[in-house]
Amino acid sequence: MKNKFVIRSINNIDESLCVDIFRREDNTFGFDEFRREKETNEGWYKIHPYGHNIYLTEQEAYNHAYKNILWLNYKN
């Protein structure tokens, strides 16, 4: 699906990893995980295929991201 609107972006402590929670045009939600290497400044790359999963709420998408992406448990 082309049109996704990021509604929450969460970075790890050194900002090398990121999770985006997004809303689709059909008002379903999902998330994707990205990484970047700050030294090369080449941008963000998707590292896991989570974006195809469909959730009915932003909170449900976040809860599943939290369960699947270990570094989110250690963010703070």
- Domain holding 41, by residue range, is 4-74
46 φ, ψ to 5°?
-65, 135
Cβ count near 16 (within 10 Å):
15
Residue 28's nearest CA partner among 4, 63, 2, 64 is 4
What one-character DSSP code corresponds to residue 39? T
- In the chain, how many domains are there? 1
Using one digit for the tens of pLDDT, what is the confidence trace for 20-70? 999 999 999 999 999 998 777 778 899 988 999 999 999 999 999 999 999
HSE-up (13 A, CA, CB side) for residue 4? 17
Per-residue tokens: 21: 């929670």
Give the model's pLDDT for residue 1: 47
pLDDT at 52: 94
